[in-house]
Amino acid sequence: MGICMDVLVVDWDHLMAVPEDQHYAMLHEAGTSVDEEGWDAGPDCPPSAGPQWSWPSPPTLGWFGKFDFGDVGCSYKDHFWAGERWEEIRSFVEPGLRSAVDRFVDPLFWGGLEYMPDREDAQEASALVSVDESPAPSDHLLWCRPAAVSSLKGLWDSVGPELNLLRGPFDQHSRADFGRINDFDTFVGLLQGWGDVIGQAELRGWGVVGLRC
């Protein structure tokens, strides 16, 4: 888990117009191009410690954007530990909200709904939508087609306003004495960053990818 992840929102039609075996190289070059724009800004422009978006300049303008989670979230290790924290508290969360959070964070933390032991309870959660998503290609950490993004946006619309309901379970039941993501605001900040990614992608009808960097 000690790797970093670049998260991009992507015009799926543009990506699918390229042969499959060229996807990773194309996306990696795109992500690197906005990094280079930051380097060109010089030492007087230090990198932000908080979440931020980078949108490319011509000629790549118009088909992708890159999200930086900031100090927490750029490492896939952060996503792992956020998943650990969620696993520690989820049984203390109201079932409808628990199921919605399960499915909202699943692509970011685990990448497989079969991990969720209460997936059969989905029918009981009125705000829940199905995230029908195939596994990510082996060279990607995250792979959400536009249809999955739309489902995730529906989940975020129900989860986002209820995040404060997780504070009590987090403060009482998370094991904050080891690992990372050891306070509630950091945990929720990572979820809010993921919500921002999904919102920006859904607004454009795009997908989301995560690359090893």
Q: What's residue 114's pLDDT?
A: 41
Q: What's residue 23's pLDDT?
A: 93
8 Å CB contact between 10 and 209 = yes
Domain ranges of the chain: 76-212
For residues 109 and 81, what is the distance between their CA atoms, to the nearest angstrom? 9
Ranges of residues in the chain whose predicted pLDDT is under 50: 1, 38-46, 112-128
Q: Which tens digits make up the pLDDT trace of 123-152? A: 444 344 555 555 667 777 889 999 999 999
pTM score, two decimals?
0.84
User: Before 47, cis peptide (omega within 30)?
Assistant: no
Q: What's residue 40's pLDDT?
A: 41
Burial of 43 (0-12, 13-18, 19+ CB in 10 A): exposed
Q: What is the DSSP string of 112-137?
A: -GGG-TTGGGGGG-TT------PPPP
Enumerate the β-bridge partners of residue 75. 4
Helix (H) or strand (E) holding 196: helix 184-204
